[in-house]
Amino acid sequence: MEPRTCIAAWDADKLTLYTPTQGISNCRTDTARDLGIPPETVHVICHYMGGGFGNKNQNQDADLITAMLAKEAGAPVKLEFTRKDDFIGVHGRWPTIQYYKVGVSRDGTIKAIQLRGYSGMGPYRKNTGAIAGIELYQCPNIESLVYPVYTNKTVSGNFRGPEYPQGFFGIESMMDDVAYKLGMDPVDFVLKNMTRKYRDEMPYTNYSLDDCIRRGAEVFEWKKRWHPQPGSDRGPIKRGAGMAFMAFRSALGRSSAVVRLNTKGQYTLFVGVTDVGPGAKTTMAMIAAEALGVPLSKIEIVSGDTDRCPYSVGESGSRTTIQTGYAVIQAAEALKLQIAEKGLPKGDDVRVGSATPNPTLEGKVRAAFGAHFVEVEVDTQLGRARVLKYLAVHDCGRIMNPLTATSQIKGGATMGIGMALHEDLLYDRRTGQPLTAGFYGARLLTHRDAPEIEVIFIESDDGYGPYGAKSMGESSKVPAVAAVANAVFNAIGRRMRDLPITRDKILGALA
Amino acid sequence: MKTFANANAHDLQQAVTLVQQTRQDGRAASFVGGGSDLLALVKERIVAPDVLVNLKTIKGLDQVTLTGGDATGMTIGGLITLDALSRHPVVRRQYAVLAEAAETVATPQIRNVGTLAGNVCQRPWCWYFRNGFPCLKNGGNTCFSAAGENQFHAIFGGGPSHIVHPSDTAVALVALDARFRVVGPTGERVVPAAEFFILPQQDARRENVLGPEEALAEIQVPSARPGTRSTYHKVMDREAWTHAVVSTAIVLEMDKQICRNARIVLGGVAPIPWRLPHVERMLAGQRITETLAAKAAEAALEGAKPLARNAYKVPLTRGVIHRTLLALAART
């Protein structure tokens, strides 16, 4: 939860930046480009950071400002944002307005989907403004018109699943409505219409959506918790259940790793990754230990330093484990080959294995799959919605570290609950000034607001990535908002179309 | 953040003199207790004191004293922390409404430093005021909430400012008929709770009668009559660290099933703790049934004037009163 900070120091023409970044390599090239200096003269260091959350995978404005101030001052400069600066000066999720039209036959088969959407990008465009979700459904006729628009609000950027949670909230609210209109159980409707091939064309490297949804429905006791007639609980406190599912990109790509063995039998792993929160350094060392067949304690890791580590793709897009993790295995194999050829190192010698693989998928699409099931309780007199039960079922391929993996899913689901029921950066309409910047005003969840979240992994190995590991970090937030919102509908029989679903809106809808 | 000097006071008179002298020198002074509200205001540049007169160095002002004789009851030093107040055994037993209100405030960290007097005198949490808009509270001529974002603003007693009073303990203290001992340059005075808080139509710049050189020293609470039970219900937007969207403090004097006397005060709905005497009269001498509680809740919202975005507070407040009243009456 660290706000933006940076220390910049110049030594003649060489710049050193200590900055919390999700990509030391990108930060170096971007900074060099912006300052008009060669990339080799920029040294980026990030050994520890207080969380990534998505929009630190470029050089940040803060880095550039600090570098320029340090040049001007002729001395090292440290810049540190206040929490309020961080809310206003850094980039949050783009808000959207989405209109859907869905054509469906009487037997519940989707025939056509149209989306007209608008994304608020702020005064300049930093990222795509896309709205994801339609591709979840198998449908011969899809039209998606998305217009990123300039606004007088803070600039929008990438934030955990940049185009996903808000897009999935839109499409899955819509499809939930369609299912009720048809008199179908939303779970049956999804099973009938969900993607089987990517955009009806490309096969997935493995496919487990049926498993995720069926297993989830069974463990959650969907039939028992879901009300065929929404809002049918008697009494002022009503319960309801909702679900949403997801498929999330899990692409392969280029990254690098170097492993070195010295005469003391100590292995040193060099990777460019930074730990944005999920424990990436531990995971990288675990992969190296596995590939080398040595205990974890034999692996030392050097990371987050452009002068000491090889290229890293950057810790965004949920790809650190898949891409750099795969490079770690390849580097370990290269080292083992060296040892086989030349024997163990002697004296001051070392053996070094390195790799920069760039694997491809040969016409297939790789995706992580999942489904979330949520039960809520809505107090219709006091307007309060509360999550009672939360189950997240995920296929993230092979699980590398069960503890951190479970935390990733819980964290994403918790953020989704916050986005669904709590958080808002509200603006004064006349002046355009933000009114709720900061953790107090924006109503982030506290520990007491986070429910118990049950996580089930359906492990798979599609033969790609490191031991079949797929993406994870962002995907746990993707279906969460939609699942909570659909549960609220099931409880009160009112479709809440405006996030967050707060007390004023619930009581307004019920008035 | 503006820099300031700290001056430790050893008694209340010295504190008042320090503030007075600083102001006579043309500099700004503030009394400070726990500082949790004041420092936030300083950091946001809402206030800019040159000198903070520290009250925490005054001994004995953080105690609960039980008083005997004709004026039975208790006296609470203004410097008691919210945490200590909420845990005090006598307060918990005889004045549950106050203990419950204190323990709903903010977070454990804030309750560990925040004081009762500070909580009662807390400045509003209207987002226009706290974000430095040139509003009435910040010395301007406009209340931006009137035609702006007023989700959390007043449905009673608003105009020209539409803030809601932010204190939980103030609501409980009004329900307890507390009296506030105020110390200032001309000596001291005791102000009944009903007169301590003032509406914006009287003075839109401040929330209570305290002058710039006056401090709230202690609070006197009359003894609870036999059969008294009380509670505080606070509706929040999350489970911790928010002010009341709506709250109610209810004190009932019960004689078996019959309510002899009731005091009902609302928080989060008006620029002051909002007492409901007409509803209290409806309940006196009655058995509190489901029907009567519903009637009382209905009557409580008569005359409410919601703004464009806070009409939800009307059914919400109704629900809170209905439910809290019934639950308290049914308690054995």
B234 falls within a domain: yes
pLDDT of residue B7: 98
Q: List C-alpha distances in Å: A138 to A9, A98, A146, A175, A183.
A: 54, 20, 20, 12, 20
CATH classification of the domain holding B98: 3.30.465.10
d(CA B318, CA B279): 12
Q: Inter-chain contact B127–A507, Cβ cutoff 8 Å?
A: no
Contacts of A237 (CB under 8 A, 6+ apart): A377, A378, A379, A380
Instruction: Specify whether B48 is located in the same domain as B195.
Output: no
d(CA A267, CA B55): 60
Q: Which residue has the tokens 């600090």?
A: A66
Nearest CA in chain B to A507: B312
Q: Inter-chain contact B127–A383, Cβ cutoff 8 Å?
A: no
Q: Inter-chain contact B245–A508, Cβ cutoff 8 Å?
A: no
Q: Inter-chain contact B240–A433, Cβ cutoff 8 Å?
A: no
- All residues of chain B having their beta carbon less than 8 Å from the beta carbon of residue A446 are 238-241
Nearest CA in chain B to A509: B312
Look at residues B171, B187, B222 and tell me which one is the last residue of a structural domain. B222
CB atoms under 10 Å from CB of B262, counted, come to 26
d(CA A317, CA B267): 46
Question: How is domain A96-250+363-510 classified at the CATH fold level?
Answer: Aldehyde Oxidoreductase; domain 4 (3.30.365)
**Taking Cα atoms as reference points, which of A479, A433, A503, A501 lies closest to residue A152?**
A433
Amino acid at B162: H
Q: How many domains would you assign to chain B? A: 3
Instruction: Specify whether B106 is located in the same domain as B205.
Output: yes
d(CA A34, CA A28): 10
d(CA A286, CA B289): 66
Instruction: Specify whether B102 is located in the same domain as B178.
Output: yes
CA B228 to chain centre: 21
Residue A510, min C-alpha distance to chain B (Å)? 10
Minimum-distance CB partner of A436 among B127, B245, B319: B127
- All residues of chain A having their beta carbon less than 8 Å from the beta carbon of residue B235 are 382, 384, 503
Q: Inter-chain contact A504–B312, Cβ cutoff 8 Å?
A: yes
Q: List C-alpha distances in Å: A72 to A9, A13, A75, A112, A408.
A: 11, 13, 8, 59, 42
SS3 content of chain B, % helix, strand, coil (to 5): 35, 25, 45
Write phi, then psi, for A77 (nearest 5 degrees): -130, 140
CB atoms under 10 Å from CB of A9, counted, come to 17
Instruction: Specify whether B47 is located in the same domain as B82.
Output: no
Contacts of A258 (CB under 8 A, 6+ apart): A269, A270, A271, A309, A310, A331, A352, A353, A354
**Domain region containing B270:** 228-330
- All residues of chain B having their beta carbon less than 8 Å from the beta carbon of residue A381 are 315-316, 318-319, 322-323
Instruction: Specify whether B305 is located in the same domain as B179.
Output: no
B153 falls within a domain: no
CA A200 to chain centre: 24
Instruction: Specify whether B202 is located in the same domain as B68.
Output: yes
B136 falls within a domain: no
> Which helix (H) or strand (E) is B73 found in, with range?
strand B73-77
Structural tokens at position A248:
């999330």
Q: Inter-chain contact A429–B133, Cβ cutoff 8 Å?
A: no
**Taking Cα atoms as reference points, which of B12, B191, B232, B221 lies closest to residue B100?**
B232
B289 falls within a domain: yes
Residue B7, min C-alpha distance to chain A (Å)? 28
Listed by number, the residues of chain B in 215-244 with a beta carbon closer than 8 Å to a beta carbon of chain A are: 235, 237-242
CATH classification of the domain holding B51: 3.30.43.10
Nearest CA in chain A to B125: A441
Mutate: best of A378, A387, A507, partner B, most B CBs <10 A: A507
d(CA A336, CA A256): 17
CATH code of the region A5-81: 3.30.365.10
> Which helix (H) or strand (E) is B259 found in, with range?
strand B258-267
Instruction: Specify whether B174 is located in the same domain as B306.
Output: no
Q: Which residue has the tokens 């939360």?
A: A390
Indicate the burial class of B93 (C-beta count within 10 angstroms; 0-12, 13-18, 19 or more): exposed
B23 falls within a domain: yes
pLDDT of residue B71: 60
Angle in degrees, CA B279, B281, B283, rounded to 5:
75
Write phi, then psi, for A35 (nearest 5 degrees): -95, -5
Minimum-distance CB partner of B239 among A433, A435, A448: A448
Structural tokens at position B233:
């219900």
Instruction: Specify whether B38 is located in the same domain as B93.
Output: no
Q: Inter-chain contact B312–A449, Cβ cutoff 8 Å?
A: no
Q: Which residue has the tokens 């804030």?
A: B110
Nearest CA in chain A to B242: A440
Structural tokens at position A134:
């339609």
B129 falls within a domain: no
Instruction: Specify whether B232 is located in the same domain as B213.
Output: no
Is the CB of residue B298 less than 8 Å away from at least one CB of chain A? Answer: no
Query: What are the helix (H) ranges across A250-367?
Result: 280-292, 325-342
Mutate: best of B128, B135, B239, partner A, most A CBs <10 A: B239
Write phi, then psi, for A493 (nearest 5 degrees): 70, 20
B263 falls within a domain: yes
Q: Which residue has the tokens 């163990």?
A: A344
d(CA B92, CA B87): 7
- All residues of chain A having their beta carbon less than 8 Å from the beta carbon of residue B237 are 422, 443, 502-503
Low-confidence ranges of chain A (pLDDT < 50): none
Q: List C-alpha distances in Å: B84 to A139, B67, B87.
A: 63, 19, 5
Q: Inter-chain contact B149–A435, Cβ cutoff 8 Å?
A: yes
Residue A511, min C-alpha distance to chain B (Å)? 8
Minimum-distance CB partner of B319 among A381, A428, A433: A381
d(CA B133, CA B251): 38
Longest CA–CA separation in chain A, Å: 81
Query: pLDDT digit of tens for each residue in chain B (332 aa)?
Result: 789 999 999 999 999 999 999 999 999 999 999 999 999 999 999 999 999 999 999 999 999 999 876 567 999 999 999 999 999 999 999 999 999 999 999 999 999 999 999 999 999 999 999 999 999 999 999 999 999 999 999 999 999 999 999 999 999 999 999 999 999 999 999 999 989 999 999 999 999 999 999 999 999 999 989 999 999 999 999 999 999 999 999 999 999 999 999 999 999 999 999 999 999 999 999 999 999 999 999 999 999 999 999 999 999 999 999 999 999 999 87
B315 falls within a domain: yes
What are the pLDDT digits (tens) for A48-106?
A: 999 888 888 776 788 999 999 999 999 999 999 999 999 988 888 999 999 999 999 99
pLDDT of residue B308: 97
CATH classification of the domain holding B316: 3.30.390.50
Q: Inter-chain contact B148–A508, Cβ cutoff 8 Å?
A: no
Look at residues B195, B222, B249 and tell me which one is the last residue of a structural domain. B222
Q: Inter-chain contact A507–B316, Cβ cutoff 8 Å?
A: yes
Q: Inter-chain contact B316–A448, Cβ cutoff 8 Å?
A: no
Contacts of B86 (CB under 8 A, 6+ apart): B92, B99, B100, B102, B103, B111
**Taking Cα atoms as reference points, which of A265, A297, A267, A262 lies closest to residue A282?**
A297
Which residues sit opposite A156 in a β-bridge? A92
pLDDT of residue B275: 98
d(CA A147, CA A121): 10
Instruction: Specify whether B68 is located in the same domain as B213.
Output: yes
d(CA B62, CA A180): 60
Structural tokens at position B307:
């703004």
Instruction: Specify whether B317 is located in the same domain as B249.
Output: yes
Instruction: Specify whether B178 is located in the same domain as B293.
Output: no
pLDDT of residue A355: 98
**Taking Cα atoms as reference points, which of B66, B124, B59, B114 lies closest to residue B86?**
B114
Minimum-distance CB partner of A503 among B133, B311, B312: B312
Write phi, then psi, for A428 (nearest 5 degrees): -75, 125
pLDDT of residue A61: 84
CATH 3.30.365.10 matches A257-355: yes
Helix (H, G, I), strand (E, B) or coil at A45: strand
Q: Inter-chain contact A382–B316, Cβ cutoff 8 Å?
A: yes
What are the pLDDT digits (tens) for B45-66?
A: 999 999 999 999 999 999 999 9
Residues of chain A with CATH 3.30.365.10: 5-81, 96-250+363-510, 257-355
